[in-house]
Chain A
C-alpha cells in the first residue's frame, strides 16, 4: 500500500508539514516494499487553489492514503472522488506516523476545514 505525507524536507527524518497544500514536498511511502520517493510540491507557491493542485499530484502518484495534520475542503473533495482515505497525523515525526499507520492506530481525519480558497489570485 502506498501512503502520501506532506513533509518539510527530503528525508525520512523530516517532520510532517503543518500545511498540506503548501508543503514543500510529499513523501510517497510504500508500506510493502518500504520504498520511499519524494515529490516536489508544485502547488506550494500557488497564490490560490494550492490544495486542489496538491491533491491532483497525490492522485497521480497513485497513493492509496494521505497522512496529514489538516486538509482543506477542496483538496478533500479531490481525494474523496479518487477514493483516497485521509488520516490525521499525530505529532511531528514522519517515522512515528508511518509506524502508527501500519499498526492501524491513526484516526481518519474528520474535521475538514473550509479551505483557504482561491482568494486574491491577483
Chain B
C-alpha cells in the first residue's frame, strides 16, 4: 500500500478540497484526516453510515478531593501552570492543567489524584470496500502526535488487503502532528498558496519533509490570485529539485461544490480539470518510478 500525504503549512490553502478530489479520482480504498484540530474531510468525503468511535486519552488531569483537602495551599504554590483555583475551596482548571503530577506529589494529605481525561475521539467509517479514519480533539486539548499516529494506525489496520493507495489529509503547521503524519508516507503533495505568508510556510514544510527523506511534490492553488508569487514558487521548486505538478486556478465553483458536499472533480469546472492532471502526474510518480 502506497501512502500519499497532503500538506500545506498554512491553513486554508485548499488542502482538504484537493484531498477529497484525489480520493474521488483514485477511488482510494483507505483514507484519513489527520487534521485533528479542525477535521473537515468528513464533510465532503464522509459516509452516511455511523462510525465506530473510540475515546482518545491525552495526559491525565489532576483532581482535588474537597473532603480530604486541608487548604494548605501547597498545590497552588507549586503549580507552574496556574491551574489550581481557589474559589469555594481548591479546584483544578482542567484547561490549564498539563498533568505533570506536581500537585499530587506535594499534597501532604493525599487529596489530589491524577485521573485519565478524554481529550478527543477517533472515528472509523467502514463499508465493504473502503475505510475512512478521522478524529476530533476536544476544545482546549493540545494537539498531539499520538492521536495522529492512532488515526493512521487505525486506517492501515482496517484497510482492505488489496488497497493500493491510501490518501491522508495532513494537519496544518509544521509541528509534531505534521511530523507524526509523515511517518511511513511514500509521497507528499504540498498545496501552496501564492501569498507571502503561504510561501514562507511552504518553505518550512519542505525542509521538514526533506529531513525525513520523504519525496515531495508541489502544486499551487488559486494561482491566478497572484501570478508573480506563483512564479516565485515555481522557481523555488526548480532550485530545490521538487517536481511542480500543477497550478489550480481560483474558481468560484469550488465554494459551490464544497457547500453541496461534493468534490470539485464531480462537477464540471476548470479547477477540477487541473486537479485531474495533477492526479495523473502523482500516480505516475507513485507507481511508475515509485521505487521500492
Contact = CB atoms under 8 A, between A and B. Distances in A.
Find out whether A and B make contact in their complex, taking CB atoms under 8 A apart as touching: yes
Interface of A: 18-19, 22, 45-48, 50, 70, 111, 113-122
Given A45-B146, A70-B183, A120 B212 contact: no
Main secondary structure of the interface of A (DSSP, over half): loop
Interface of B: 57-59, 98-99, 119, 141-146, 149, 175-177, 179-180, 183-184, 208, 211-213
Given A18-B184, A19-B183, A119 B145 contact: yes
B177 A113 contact: no
B118 to A, nearest CB: 13
Contacts of A22: 146, 149
A111 B212 CA distance: 8
A22 B152 CA distance: 13
A47 B58 contact: yes
17 contacts: A22-B149, A46-B146, A47-B144, A47-B145, A47-B146, A48-B144, A70-B183, A111-B213, A113-B183, A116-B183, A119-B142, A119-B143, A120-B142, A120-B144, A122-B58, A122-B59, A122-B141
Contact of B145 (A18, A113, A114, A116): A116
A25 to B, nearest CB: 15
B183 A121 contact: no
B149 A120 contact: no
B176 A19 contact: no
Given A121-B144, A122-B58, A113 B176 contact: no
Contacts, number: 69
A118 B100 CA distance: 13
B211 A119 contact: no
Nearest to A111: B213
Contacts of B149: 19, 22, 116
B179 A114 contact: yes
A121 B177 contact: no
B257 to A, nearest CB: 33
Contacts of A18: 183-184
B213 A121 contact: no
Contacts of A122: 58-59, 98-99, 119, 141-142
Nearest to A44: B146
Contacts of A45: 57, 146
Nearest to B61: A122
A121 B142 contact: yes
A120 B184 contact: no
A50 B179 CA distance: 14
Task: Determine which residue in B176, B180, B184 has the highest number of CB atoms from chain A within 10 A of its CB, and name it.
Answer: B176
Task: Determine which residue in B59, B99, B144 has the highest number of CB atoms from chain A within 10 A of its CB, and name it.
Answer: B144
Contacts of B176: 48, 116-120
A22 B145 CA distance: 11
B98 A120 contact: no
Contact of B212 (A46, A48, A113, A119): A113
A85 B280 CA distance: 42
Contacts of A119: 142-145, 175-177
A83 B174 CA distance: 32
B170 to A, nearest CB: 14
A46 B142 CA distance: 14
